[in-house]
Structure formats: C-alpha cells, structure tokens
Amino acid sequence: MTTPAWLPTRFDRAAFPTIADLELAAWAVYRKDFATVPRFRTENVGVVRRAHKVRADREHTYWHMITEGEPEESRTTPMPDRLERLPWTRPIIENEGDAAASVKVWANERHGNTHVCIWFDRQNYIVVLKQCTGHYLLKTAYCPEPKRQQQLHREYAAWKKSGARL
C-alpha cells in the first residue's frame, strides 16, 4: 500500500548532527502544527501548554509525547523514534477517516478516563486523545513495540466486536 498524500515525510535522524538538533526540529513542527486547534471529527483537540516539570521551555503535551517513563519527572531524554514521527501527529488526527488509509480508531478506559486511540498501524504510530466534555485532549503519540502492537490489535478487535461506537 502506498503512503497517503496527507502524511508528511518523517524526519531522517541521519540528517541531524545531534539528537538535540532533531528535537529542535520536532519542537518547531509541534509549535506550528498546534498553533491552531486541530479537530478530531467534530470536536477540538487541545494540548496542555503549561511547562513540563523536567523541561520548563517545552510544553507538557509535547514533552510527554517525545519521552517515556513514570513518574513524569523521569522523562528527561527525548526518544529519537518519537521525534522522527512527530510530524505525523496532527495529520493522523485530522485524516483518521480516510478509508484508504485504514486507520484504526477505538475507545478504551485508562485510569477512569475514556481515551480514543488512533492507530495508523501500517506506519505503526498511535495517537491517544483523552475524551473531555465537548473536546479532546492530546495525551501522547508513539510507536508501539511488538508486544504492545499485539495488545492493541486484540483491544481493537474486541472493541469492534462489541459493536461500540465513538
């Protein structure tokens, strides 16, 4: 299958002398892409703009998207695979309904909240939105490892089989 025209090229890590340079490029894309509010279907998708605990010059949502770990204070090092694919986040949110792309979309419950998973499994990139009253909140986006991919496939199949709708 071909890559959809709406999906931008991911960053090529080799084109950046350091991870810090790659992170700066990803930050610039994030700031551009989320300067205006994207929409998931008919509702706005917000981001947490307050400073992250670890990196005061970066917004919370952005830093959470490009790092991993718990507690939040342990998220000190950006992950190259997340940085490379950050340009995909907004286009996947806005184009999840493209039937030719076969993006998988379903809801799940995490820590008492309803989350919407938007998984472009052909590119192995998932965007997670928290459902709020009248809008969504971008929680994170990442490339699931093989074990997590298997879990996501099972979760999506169970959700679809249940007949649930968003």
* pLDDT for the residue numbered 119: 97
Which stretches of 58-122 are DSSP H helices? 60-66, 80-85, 89-94
> Would you say residue 6 lies in a domain?
no
Sort 46 into a burial class: Cβ within 10 Å, 0-12 / 13-18 / 19+.
Answer: middle
> Would you say residue 124 lies in a domain?
yes
* pLDDT for the residue numbered 75: 83
> Would you say residue 3 lies in a domain?
no
Print the domain residue range for 114.
13-162
Local structure of residue 59 (DSSP, 8 states):
B
> Would you say residue 1 lies in a domain?
no
Could you give the number of structural domains in the chain?
A: 1
> Would you say residue 8 lies in a domain?
no
Backbone angles phi, psi at 46, to 5 degrees: -95, 170
CA distance 101 to 94: 12
Asked if pLDDT for residue 159 goes beyond 70, the answer is yes
* pLDDT for the residue numbered 39: 96
> Would you say residue 133 lies in a domain?
yes
Strands (E), the chain: 39-40, 43-46, 104-110, 113-120, 125-132, 135-142
Sheet arrangement for strand 43-46: 39-40, 43-46, 135-142, 125-132, 113-120, 104-110
pTM, two decimal places: 0.94
Mean pLDDT within 86-100:
96
Three-class SS of residue 112? coil
Give the model confidence (pLDDT) of 25-38 as tens digits: 999 999 999 999 99
> Would you say residue 7 lies in a domain?
no
CA distance 151 to 144: 10
Give the model confidence (pLDDT) of 94-129 as tens digits: 999 999 999 999 999 988 999 999 999 999 999 999
> Would you say residue 4 lies in a domain?
no
